[in-house]
C-alpha cells in the first residue's frame, strides 16, 4: 500500500507535466506540494516544484494565494462547528482551510496565514469533540519538522493532537 506522501508525489508529478497557466493551477500545485513537503517528503519533483515556485510560477502563485479569502474559509468552518455537523463535514471544512495554509507555508507566505491558523485553534478548543476523530492523525502530524517549525500557524493541529488520549504534549 502506498503512503500518503507517495500519492502526493505522484499527483505533483502529474501536475508538473502540465503547463500551469493560471492562479488556480498554481494553487493546486502549491497545495499538493505543501502537503507533501509538510509530511517530510523528499523528491526531485518537489525540488522542481520549488524551483518553479521561486521562479516563473511566483506571480501565478501570488495571484492564487491573494484570491483565497481565508476569512470566508474560517467562517465556513465555524458555521459547520456551530451546526454541530457530523465529524466528516467538520473534517472537510478543516481540510479546506488546512490545504490553503499548507500551500502558503510551502510558498514562503506563512506569515500571511498565521492569524487564520490561530483562529482555527480557538475553534477547535470550543468544540473539541467534533475533532476527536482526527487526534491520532494530528499527533503524527505535529511530530513532523515542517509542522513543529511552524507551530504558530499550525496551532490547530496541536489543539487536535491534545485530544489524543494516548499522547502527551
Q: Tell me the C-alpha distance between 28 and 26, whole Å.
A: 5
Q: Closest Cα to residue 21, out of 50, 54, 63?
A: 63
| Helix (H) or strand (E) segment spanning residue 145 | helix 145-148
Can you give the C-alpha Rg of the chain in angstroms?
16
Q: Where are the domains of the chain?
A: 4-66, 69-161
Q: What percent of the chain stands above pLDDT 90?
A: 91
Q: Find all residues with CB under 8 Å of 132, minimum gap 6, and list them.
A: 87, 163
154, 101 Cβ separation under 8 angstroms: yes
Mean pLDDT, range 48-65, rounded to an integer: 94
Q: Closest Cα to residue 156, out of 112, 110, 115?
A: 115
16, 49 Cβ separation under 8 angstroms: yes
pLDDT exceeds 80 at position 134: yes
pLDDT exceeds 70 at position 73: yes
Give the predicted TM-score (pTM) of the model. 0.93
Name the more confident of 60 and 167.
60
Amino acid at each position: 500500500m502506498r503512503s500518503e506522501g507517495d500519492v502526493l508525489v505522484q499527483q505533483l508529478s502529474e501536475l508538473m507535466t502540465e503547463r500551469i497557466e493560471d492562479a488556480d493551477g498554481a494553487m493546486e500545485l502549491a497545495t499538493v506540494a505543501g502537503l507533501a513537503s509538510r509530511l517530510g517528503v523528499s523528491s526531485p519533483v518537489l525540488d522542481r516544484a520549488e524551483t518553479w515556485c521561486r521562479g516563473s510560477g511566483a506571480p501565478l502563485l501570488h495571484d492564487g494565494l491573494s484570491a483565497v479569502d481565508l476569512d470566508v474559509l474560517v467562517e465556513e468552518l465555524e458555521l459547520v462547528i456551530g451546526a454541530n455537523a457530523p465529524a466528516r463535514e467538520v473534517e472537510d471544512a478543516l481540510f479546506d482551510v488546512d490545504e490553503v495554509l499548507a500551500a502558503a507555508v510551502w510558498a514562503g507566505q506563512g506569515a500571511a496565514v498565521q492569524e487564520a491558523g490561530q483562529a482555527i485553534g480557538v475553534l477547535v478548543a470550543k468544540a473539541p469533540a467534533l475533532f476527536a476523530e482526527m487526534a491520532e492523525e494530528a499527533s503524527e502530524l505535529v511530530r513532523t519538522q515542517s509542522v513543529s517549525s511552524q507551530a504558530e500557524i499550525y496551532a490547530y493541529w496541536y489543539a487536535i493532537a491534545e485530544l489524543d488520549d494516548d499522547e502527551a504534549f
